[in-house]
Chains A and B, each alone.
Chain A
Amino acid sequence: MHPLHQILAQAAGRNKVKTGEFIVAKVDLAEINDLYLQVLLSFKEMGGDKVWDPQKISFVMDHYAPAPTIKAAENQRKMREFAKDQGIKHFFDINRGVCHQVMPEEGLVWPEMLLVDTDSHTTTNGAFGAFSTGIGATDMAAVLLTGEIWFRVPEIIKINIRGKIGKGIMAKDIILYIISQLGTDIALYKEIDFDGEAVKEMSLDERLFLCNMSVEMGAKATYIRPDEKVMEYLSEVSPEKYKEYQMMKFTNDEIDADYESVYSFDISDLEPQVALPHRVDNVLPVSQAKGKRIQQALIGTCTGGRINDIKMAAQILKGKKIASSIRLLIIPASHKTLQKCIELGYIQTLLNAGATLATPSCGPCLGAHQGILSSGESCISTSSRNFPGRMGSTEAKIFLSSPATAAASALKGVITDPREFL
């Protein structure tokens, strides 16, 4: 069995699971964000009184952080009150960042665990070898009530990424390219196992990027076999727990799995990639997308706002000024990321270049606040989606790119190949 199926089998109290069958699985960690007061409403409607385990539940106030409207403020207040009443252990308020960065940073994500979160980009945690998937509010309410969730055991697709990652090429370029080749629903109801020397070479930040964007191919969950980079991270964020942590049961053996399909990509000669409006798979190499005028560049969020991403932007913008026609928004994925980037001087560099810094959060990625687009405007963004209206007006255009391409484009005011500056 594949490790993801082993996790499901273990969570269902079974020796084995078969692809396509339905199981009821025990959840190790459930995370709820501030968009989902419906979780509490559904929980109450189900007759819920006490949650199944306050130690295994986490709240993160990230999508509307800090609250931009009275209604959003009221929803957050109700969540704070609920968490307090229920004795929820892990409550992360508006001063912490986006759940997909905060959860690993707080030492809550471990290999082999089964994690559910009210956000589609929960596929991110596959980079730790966890089974991690996004669910809706009522599914989450059921988890709060019972500690369980039903799943159909999914097929697994393997994607081998081979070759040497070129200068100025980031995980975002690689995943946009793969999505453009395979389509946005290739992994619908399925899981993706990423393997190959390029994946092994990637930093953990880059792997998180890869797994995060996989939901844009429909993936239910992702998997990258945990290695020493994961172990090093875990030992840093949670030294005490790490000491007790036994090396994984699964990972020392060859993975024995029936893959539904196997794809292989050699990315050695890959150019930076740009997804044009309004589809994530509407991708062109930067040489064919360059020159398009933009008014805003967004470097940040749970997709492209990690230290590695901000470092790349700072490297490109050091000692330079962004184009006068451009608004460059920097929204680190978390406060810890922000603090580290301040410490390393990246934020100072970006502010000197003319960037605007906003609170670590989802920001304008989902059109909530902190940089909404007007009609007729174009934005290049390191975030995950370029659907119509995603960042505000349905008449605005969103181009998706790596942090490097977004930074170079901010410099020139038009979509630009970042390799000119590296």
Chain B
Amino acid sequence: MSESIIKGKVFKVGNDIDTDQIFPGRYLYLTSPEEMAVHALEDAIPDFYKKIKVEDWIIAAGEYFGCGSSREQASRAILYAGIKAVVAESFGRIFYRNALNAGLPIIKCPGIVKEIHQEDLMRVNLEEGLIILNASGKTLSIEKFPFQLLTILENGGLIPYLRKFKKFSHLKRN
């Protein structure tokens, strides 16, 4: 990953935002980043793309963000829309992997929702495993990445990782 500190304004969303709401089935044939970006979270937050066009944003979500389908388009649309990271109480399993593979920083932080407000400034320090909230000055701990996942994320996602190493040998260490 290029930066270990990610900064942005909080875009708060609720619980159980599923992948159909993040990237509806009617657009799944789209493959270009520009076309996909405009539909990010379209069925959960009308005009989401327009709302986050200016400045850097971090999505802060409740429970089970990205539950539902295996569509990688959901994590890619968020990435292509320019979102810097997604912090949530918990994530859908396949969405979590897809985001990591696409190089979208994805952070589990139980307890985040009650600490933040829309448009608060937030800093995520991945190296130290901390979230710093500018408004309250509070510091929250994030769930640590296992070595294997951090390796993928540090290389910018699974594509750059495999382009570099050609195989999974770096992940076989326990």
Please indicate whether A and B come from the same complex rather than being unrelated chains. yes
- A60-83 with Cβ < 8 A to chain B: 63-64, 69, 71-72, 75
Task: Chain B residues near A64: list those with CB within 8 A.
Answer: 28-29
B20 engages A389 (CB within 8 Å): yes
Task: Chain B residues near A36: list those with CB within 8 A.
Answer: 72
Residue of A nearest to B102 (CB): A138
Task: Chain B residues near A137: list those with CB within 8 A.
Answer: 72, 98
Most chain B CB neighbours (cut-off 10 Å) among A35, A220, A279: A35
B24 engages A134 (CB within 8 Å): no
Residue of B nearest to A75 (CB): B29
A195 to B31, CA, bound (A): 42
The size of the chain A interface, using a CB distance under 8 A, is 53
B94 engages A135 (CB within 8 Å): yes
A422 to B167, CA, bound (A): 57
B68 engages A385 (CB within 8 Å): yes
Does residue A108 face the partner (Cβ distance < 8 Å to B)?
no
Chain-B contact segment, one of A40-48, A225-233, A299-307: A40-48
A72 engages B101 (CB within 8 Å): no
Task: Chain A residues near B172: list those with CB within 8 A.
Answer: 24
Does residue B105 face the partner (Cβ distance < 8 Å to A)?
no
Does residue B64 face the partner (Cβ distance < 8 Å to A)?
yes
Q: Mark A41-60, 1 if CB is under 8 A from B, else 0.
A: 11001110000000000000
Q: Mark B126-139, 1 if CB is under 8 A from A, else 0.
A: 00000000000000
B4 to chain A, nearest CB (A): 22
Task: Chain B residues near A120: list those with CB within 8 A.
Answer: 68-70, 94
Does residue B50 face the partner (Cβ distance < 8 Å to A)?
no
A45 to B72, CA, bound (A): 16
A→B interface (CB under 8 Å): 21-22, 24, 35-38, 41-42, 45-47, 63-64, 69, 71-72, 75, 118-120, 122, 134-139, 141-142, 145-146, 148, 150, 152, 184-185, 188-189, 218, 220, 279, 366-368, 372, 385, 387-390, 392, 394
B→A interface (CB under 8 Å): 16, 18, 20-21, 24-26, 28-31, 43-44, 63-64, 67-73, 75-76, 90, 92-94, 97-98, 101-102, 146-148, 157-159, 162-163, 166-168, 171-172, 174
